[in-house]
């Protein structure tokens, strides 16, 4: 079994942290307390510490992106590798909270929330003695946006979709400050969690610069795109459309970000010495370098036939793509010797798996598709929404066009499949829209899961890890899962 799986499974049997560890102690690469953040250089170090958490393979360098795809119907793990099959398929749908491997997916966002809160508190309490007001204001907005994003990550994985029960089920614990040692947060409802996320992002955006960071970190544009995504998940389609369409039109005028062209699409995903070049479209990336990367634990190694080749495309998804051979996005599909399709979105040099690929967390194409989905649901101008959809459709194949008669939710979700595969969206697209689906095999394994999946299946969301109830007895478990 590869090291990645031993490390992941270790979180099932070893408590992640004591209560005081979670609330008071940080890894040595991060600033440990808000008291220690005393100048603007340490503020930046603390922000880098936030990205260090995100850069772990248990967060945005693998787990969260893999999870959002592999639980859906577009990609599957290789049954030939029993570790991968058990981890990604069997565990995620069948086992209980004692053995589901969810520890890091709960713990890493909470780490990020804690670190971001320390930055916000240090600035608010006047601990940062140098730096300009502009620098401190931007840093504060940056930290608020990252804290909101971490709450979003928790609620979409551990909470049922808002539309299931109007957000009355349990979501994430809302944490808006540095917690004292005796403060043990419980979970808020999904509705309360989204209300907090949206208010935080709306508070952060005016504080932040729109300048593009060298490492494609969060800026005001990325925060606005995240706000549009949050409104869509919260089923506030009018607001999702308003935010997404305004961002699209502003960026068309600025030229700072723009859609890949049909002619440049393949090259946009090609490897270069600084990692994959997503800069033209990526509003926020998981940035890796040749000396700072997840190694063989990164996403590229999971997909590449020259890496671990753990994750492959389903026959159904391959058929969808190859039904239009002139769609440029077919260039993202390769084939193993046995003709099982795999994703080529994250290549290394000469087709090898890469340590230092960048992975898109928020991409401009998604913003167009958010506006198109919100509009088709009645949240905005239908004609404009259709136009946004067609910009993505025609970029894939200029000969194609969706007519008004063909403009419906299923068509938008189909385009999201084609455009965003491998970026961690498909499962959540299905779940948040109440769509029932079945994982019934593909090119690489033939066994069906044996049941249909939708938001009524209690294992469609993950359990809170068992060790958390030892630390915080008041914490609530998801229905159907064990507490001990």
- 334: CATH: 1.25.40.900
| CB burial of residue 468 (10 Å; 0-12, 13-18, 19+) | buried
Q: Is-contact 451 94, C-beta < 8 A?
A: no
The pLDDT tens digits for 3-42 are 333 223 233 222 333 333 333 333 334 445 667 898 999 9
The verdict on residue 231 lying in a domain is: no
286 and 314 co-located in one domain? yes
pTM score, two decimals? 0.91
| 275 & 360 share domain | yes
How far is it, in rounded angstroms, from Cα 54 to Cα 70?
20
Asked if the structure places residue 214 within a domain, the reply is: no
Contact 460, 8 (CB under 8 A): no
| pLDDT (average), residues 263-270 | 92
> Are 188 and 328 in the same domain?
no
* 429, 458: one domain: no
Between CA 387 and CA 368 the distance in angstroms is: 9
Q: Quick check: is 380 in a domain?
A: yes
Higher-scoring residue by pLDDT: 451, 177:
177
Q: State the pLDDT at residue 448.
A: 45
Residues 377 and 434 in one domain: yes
Same domain, 194 and 313: no
Q: Are residues 32 and 45 in the same domain?
A: yes
Q: Report residue 86's pLDDT band, with 50, 70 and 90 as the boundaries.
A: very low
446 & 478 share domain: no
C-alpha distances in Å from residue 173, one per residue of 59, 184, 301: 18, 10, 33
How many CB atoms sit inside 10 A of residue 479's CB? Answer: 11
Domain assignment present for residue 250? The answer is yes
Same domain, 357 and 372: yes
- Shared domain for 382 and 246, answered yes or no, is yes
Domain shared by 317 and 275, yes or no: yes
Q: What is the DSSP letter of 71?
A: T
What single DSSP character describes residue 178? Answer: P
Across the chain, what does the average pLDDT equal? 86
Least confident stretch, 10-24, 141-155, 390-404: 10-24
Q: Identify the domain containing residue 192 by its residue range.
A: 18-54+102-208+454-484
Q: What is the pLDDT of residue 339?
A: 66
Which 8-state DSSP code applies to residue 87?
I
CA-CA distances (angstroms) from residue 216 to 62, 134, 200, 360? 18, 19, 21, 9
**Positive or negative, the Cα torsion across 142, 143, 146, 152?**
negative
Distance (Å) of CA 335 to CA 313, 330, 340, 449: 10, 11, 5, 25
Residues 145 and 126 in one domain: yes
How many CB atoms within 10 Å of residue 158? Answer: 23
Count of the separate structural domains present in the chain: 2
Q: Does 393 fall in a domain?
A: yes
CATH code, 149: 1.25.40.390
What is the rounded radius of gyration, in angstroms, for the C-alpha atoms of the chain? 21
Residue 9 domain-assigned (yes or no): no
Continuous H helices in 312-357: 315-322
**Dihedral Cα 408, 283, 108, 314, nearest 10 deg:** 40
Q: C-alpha angle 195/198/200, rounded to 5°? A: 105
Contact 63, 57 (CB under 8 A): yes
Q: Is residue 217 part of a domain?
A: no
- Residues in Cβ contact with 310 at an 8 Å cutoff, skipping those fewer than 6 apart: 77, 78, 81, 84, 88, 302, 303
State mean pLDDT over 358-374: 97
Q: Is 36 inside a domain boundary?
A: yes
């Amino acid at each position: 079994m590869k090291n990645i799986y031993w490390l992941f499974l270790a979180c099932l049997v070893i408590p992640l942290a004591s209560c005081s560890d979670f609330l008071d102690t940080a890894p040595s690469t991060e600033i440990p307390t808000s008291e220690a953040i005393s100048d603007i250089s340490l503020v930046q170090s603390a922000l880098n510490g936030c990205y260090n958490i995100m850069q772990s393979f248990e967060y945005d360098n693998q787990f969260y992106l893999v999870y959002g795809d592999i639980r859906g119907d577009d990609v599957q793990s290789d049954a030939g590798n029993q570790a991968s099959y058990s981890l990604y398929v069997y565990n995620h749908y069948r086992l209980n909270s004692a053995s589901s491997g969810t520890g890091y997916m709960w713990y890493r966002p909470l780490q990020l929330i804690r670190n971001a809160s320390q930055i916000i508190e240090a600035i608010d309490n006047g601990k940062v003695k140098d730096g300009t007001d502009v620098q401190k204001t931007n840093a504060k907005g940056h930290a608020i946006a990252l804290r909101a994003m971490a709450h979003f990550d928790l609620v979409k994985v551990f909470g049922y979709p808002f539309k299931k029960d109007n957000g009355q089920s349990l979501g994430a614990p809302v944490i808006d400050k540095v917690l004292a040692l005796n403060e043990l947060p419980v979970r808020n409802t999904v509705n309360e969690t989204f209300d907090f996320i949206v208010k935080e992002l709306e508070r952060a955006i005016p504080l932040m610069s729109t300048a593009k960071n060298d490492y494609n970190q969060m800026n005001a544009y990325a925060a606005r795109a995240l706000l549009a995504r949050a409104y869509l998940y919260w089923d506030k389609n009018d607001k999702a459309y308003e935010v997404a369409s305004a961002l699209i039109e502003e960026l068309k005028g600025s030229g700072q970000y723009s859609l890949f062209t049909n002619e440049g699409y393949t090259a946009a995903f090609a490897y270069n010495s600084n990692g994959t070049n997503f800069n033209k479209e990526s509003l926020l990336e998981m940035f890796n370098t040749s000396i700072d990367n997840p190694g063989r634990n990164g996403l590229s190694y999971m997909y590449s036939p020259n890496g671990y080749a753990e994750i492959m495309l389903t026959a159904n998804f391959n058929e969808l793509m190859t039904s239009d051979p002139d769609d440029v996005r077919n260039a993202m599909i390769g084939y193993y010797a046995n003709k099982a399709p795999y994703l080529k979105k994250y290549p290394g040099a000469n087709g090898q798996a890469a340590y230092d690929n960048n992975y898109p967390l928020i991409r401009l194409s998604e913003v167009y598709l958010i506006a198109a989905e919100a509009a088709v649901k009645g949240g905005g101008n239908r004609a404009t929404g259709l136009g946004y959809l067609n910009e993505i459709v025609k970029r894939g194949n200029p000969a194609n066009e969706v007519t008004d008669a063909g403009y419906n939710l299923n068509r938008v979700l189909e385009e999201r499949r084609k455009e965003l595969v491998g970026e961690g969206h498909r499962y959540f697209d299905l779940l948040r829209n109440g769509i029932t689906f079945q994982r019934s095999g593909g090119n690489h394994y033939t066994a069906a899961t044996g049941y249909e999946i939708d938001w009524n299946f209690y294992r469609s969301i993950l359990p809170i890890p068992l060790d958390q109830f030892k630390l915080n007895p008041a914490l609530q478990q998801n229905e159907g899962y064990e507490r001990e």
